Each structure stands twice: as C-alpha cells, then as structure tokens.
C-alpha cells in the first residue's frame, strides 16, 4: 500500500518517469491472482486489438451476445440468429488464448418485443418459456467449450422493493408457481442453461449488490439458486465512481457472497469521474480527478488481490477511454474517462496504480 501512495504522489507531482517505463501486461501481472477481462464490440477487435492482445486474457461481448443482437428474428432455426459478431469475438479470444464470458441470456433490456407477443396479444407463459429454452439451448450448445461462464440472469432485482417488475420476463413468466420464492422466469433460465451445457459456470449478475438492502436480496437469491444446484457464481458489475463505494465495502460483499460457496467476479468494472447524480460536464480529465481515480483503483485492486481465492475474475467494461458506454450515460454526449487506458490508448495513472504496487 505504501508503494501505491508513493506512485500516486508521483502522479500528483506530474513526474512522468513511470510512464516512460515499458508497459507491463496486466494479464501477466495478475496471472497469480485471476484473469483480467474486457468488454468488447466486434469492431473493438480491430480498433483496440493490439491493446487487448497485450493486456487481457478474458473477453466478454458488450452487446453482441444479447438477444436483440444474436437472435434478432422470430423463430429458432439458424436464419433467426446472427452469430457473426459473437463468433468474431470468440475467434479472437481463441486465437489469443483468452477465455470468454457469455453476457447475457435473460435481461429486461435488449429482448425484442416479438419474444413477448403471441396470437392474442401478450404471449402466454408457456410460449415465453419455450422461446427462452430454445434461445438458451441454442447459445449454450453453439458455444460449449468456448464460453466458460454465462451471465444467465442479469439484473432481476429492483433497486428498491423485491423483483424488477418492469421486466417483460417477470410480467410474462415470473409467477412463482413452484413456490420457491424466486420468479420462475429466473429459475427456468438457470435450469435450461444447466441442462444445455453442464460444463458452463452459471452466474447471476447485477449492479449495486455490493451494499445495503440489494446486497441482502442478491445474497438470498443466490443462496436459493445454490441450494437448487443451479448457480456457480455471482457477478458484481462494478459500475462505480472515483468516490464510491470504498474498497472495504466491496471486500465485505465479496466475502459475503463467497460464504455461500459460489465464485465471485467483478464483471463490468469502470470508475466514472463524476459523482452519481452529477450532470455537469468536464472538458478534460483534470489531474486531481485522475489522481483520485488512480488511488481508488489501487485500493480496489489491493482488495481484489487479497480476495483472489474467492474472486475468479475481474472484467473491465471496455478497454480505453475512447470507447465507453459512460459517454452516453447518464448524460448523452458527455465525456467520461473511467478506464485504465486513455483516449490515446496510453496507460493512465490508474493503470500504473493497478499494475505496480
């Protein structure tokens, strides 16, 4: 930790001697701990291919495996699917000896409305579950042995309250007919995934589950799924900021989930330089914020290394600041700088804080 402070102090002082050093591979540095991943679009393989090949040993599709991308047409024959983007990502990963996480099978977003439509208006529960089973079976069969882990259900929990009732999955197939306390739409997704590829690790993935009431609800959900033998891991997304949460909070969450006997991964890590709710815009990444970002990344990765036995992967939601979803969220067109590499693909202070400690 003292070395981290030292590096941060150097960065604050504007000393660039660290940046002049050869850039180490984060994947190699973290080899003794856990894989380092990045979310990519198919085009990122061209625009950021060298950086990815040098820095990460795990990939996840930012959008290409979501229902509306990979399964854009009605039905379940091959003409209903478009595997091109997902296949390109898997091929790149195989070529570079990287593993692949699958993201995501069942989510309230990016499911085409036709999935939930039937002859009489809304599709029946039986129709929706059949489409779900077909979709999951097709994907897990195609990528068996190539995708080692799947985010089977993404964000089923509401921020406040119990379940996300605005999800079309919940609305059409969420009724808890088996009385296990979990919407059947979620349980069925795990059952279909388990039987389609018993070798894949099945994850529940969500944001905001590192603290508070949502942590408790996620804990109970994963516990119930684990008792049924349906879940192997929990993904804490990690869309955080340079202000919150603190590393101790994240550590406690990792330990709490791990106490259930499941793997824990940080699946979508990025640290916005804006406070939650702040809608102002910065013209550039101010040095004081870059320094704060480096210090927070350092503290988080210190926890991640300590928890390496329980943490089986850390995936960034992007690779460099020129391509980040945060440029369109929560303020469309506002620049953010949440990752370890800058818009010029060069390592930021945050990179050095994570790579050297």
- Is there binding between residue 315 and ligand G3I (CB under 6 A)? no
The question of whether 268 is a catalytic residue gets the answer yes
CA proximity to 39, closest of 96, 76, 93: 93
Tell me the C-alpha distance between 334 and 214, whole Å: 29
Q: Which is nearer to ligand G3I, 268 or 321 (CB)?
A: 268
Number of residues that bind ligand G3I (CB under 6 A): 8
- Is there binding between residue 244 and ligand G3I (CB under 6 A)? no
User: Would you give the end-to-end CA distance of the chain in angstroms?
Assistant: 7
Q: Which is nearer to ligand G3I, 154 or 185 (CB)?
A: 154
Site string for ligand G3I, 208-237 (x = CB under 6 A): -----------------------------x
Strands 99-107, 58-61: pairing is parallel
CA proximity to 143, closest of 195, 65, 67: 65
Q: How far is the CB of 267 from ligand G3I (least distance, A)?
A: 8
The question of whether 155 is a catalytic residue gets the answer yes
- Is there binding between residue 43 and ligand G3I (CB under 6 A)? no
Site string for ligand G3I, 123-162 (x = CB under 6 A): -------------------------------x--------
Q: Which is nearer to ligand G3I, 52 or 353 (CB)?
A: 52
- Coil/strand/helix, residue 99: strand
Site string for ligand G3I, 97-116 (x = CB under 6 A): ------------xx------
Chain position whose Cβ is nearest to ligand G3I = 325
Q: Which is nearer to ligand G3I, 264 or 298 (CB)?
A: 264
What separation in angstroms does the CA of 182 have from each of 95, 176, 306? 40, 6, 33
Q: How far is the CB of 308 from ligand G3I (least distance, A)?
A: 24
Core vs surface per residue 2-20: b (16+ CB within 10 A) or e: eebeebbebbbeeeeebee
**Which of the residues 191, 263, 268, 323 is marked catalytic?**
268
**Which of the residues 155, 191, 307, 323 is marked catalytic?**
155
Q: How far is the CB of 138 from ligand G3I (least distance, A)?
A: 20
Core vs surface per residue 44-61: b (16+ CB within 10 A) or e: bbebbeebbbebbbbbbb
Helical pair 125-142 and 184-196, crossing angle rounded to 10 deg:
30
Core vs surface per residue 243-282: b (16+ CB within 10 A) or e: bebebebbbebbebbbebebbbbbbbbbbbbbeeeeeeee
Place of tokens 């540095």: 29
Note the residues at the interface with ligand G3I (CB under 6 A): 62-63, 109-110, 154, 237, 268, 325
Q: Which residues are identified as catalytic?
A: 155, 268
């Amino acid at each position: 930790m003292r070395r981290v402070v030292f590096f941060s102090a150097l960065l604050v002082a504007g000393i660039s001697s660290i940046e002049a050093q050869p850039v180490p591979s984060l994947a190699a540095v973290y080899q003794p701990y856990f894989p380092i991943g990045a979310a990519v679009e198919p085009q990122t393989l061209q625009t950021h291919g060298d950086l990815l090949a040098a820095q990460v040993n795990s990939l996840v599709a930012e959008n290409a495996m979501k229902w509306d991308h990979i399964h854009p047409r009605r039905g379940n024959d091959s003409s209903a699917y478009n595997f091109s983007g997902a296949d390109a990502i898997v091929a790149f990963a195989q070529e570079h000896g990287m593993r692949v996480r699958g993201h995501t099978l069942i989510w309230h977003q990016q499911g085409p409305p036709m999935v939930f439509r039937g002859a009489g208006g809304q599709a029946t529960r039986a129709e929706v579950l059949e489409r779900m089973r077909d979709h999951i079976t097709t994907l897990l069969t195609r990528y068996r042995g190539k995708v080692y882990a799947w985010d089977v259900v993404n964000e089923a929990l509401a921020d406040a309250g119990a379940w996300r009732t605005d999800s079309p999955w919940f609305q059409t197939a969420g009724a808890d007919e088996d009385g296990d306390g979990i919407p059947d739409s979620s349980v069925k997704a795990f059952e279909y995934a388990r039987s389609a590829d018993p070798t894949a690790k099945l994850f529940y993935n969500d944001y905001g589950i590192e603290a508070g009431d949502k942590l408790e609800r996620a804990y109970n959900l994963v516990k119930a799924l684990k008792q049924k033998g349906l879940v192997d891991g929990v993904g804490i997304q990690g869309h955080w900021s340079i202000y919150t949460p603190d590393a101790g909070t994240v550590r406690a969450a990792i330990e709490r989930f791990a106490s259930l006997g499941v793997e824990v991964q940080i699946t979508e890590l990025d640290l916005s330089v804006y406070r939650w709710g702040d809608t102002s815009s910065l013209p550039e990444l101010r040095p004081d914020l870059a320094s704060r970002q480096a210090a927070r990344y350092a503290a988080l990765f210190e926890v991640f290394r300590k928890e390496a036995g329980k943490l089986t992967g850390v995936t960034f939601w992007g690779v460099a600041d020129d391509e980040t979803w945060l440029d369109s969220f929560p303020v469309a067109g506002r620049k953010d700088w949440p990752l370890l590499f800058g818009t010029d693909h060069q390592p930021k202070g945050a990179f050095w804080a994570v790579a050297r400690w």
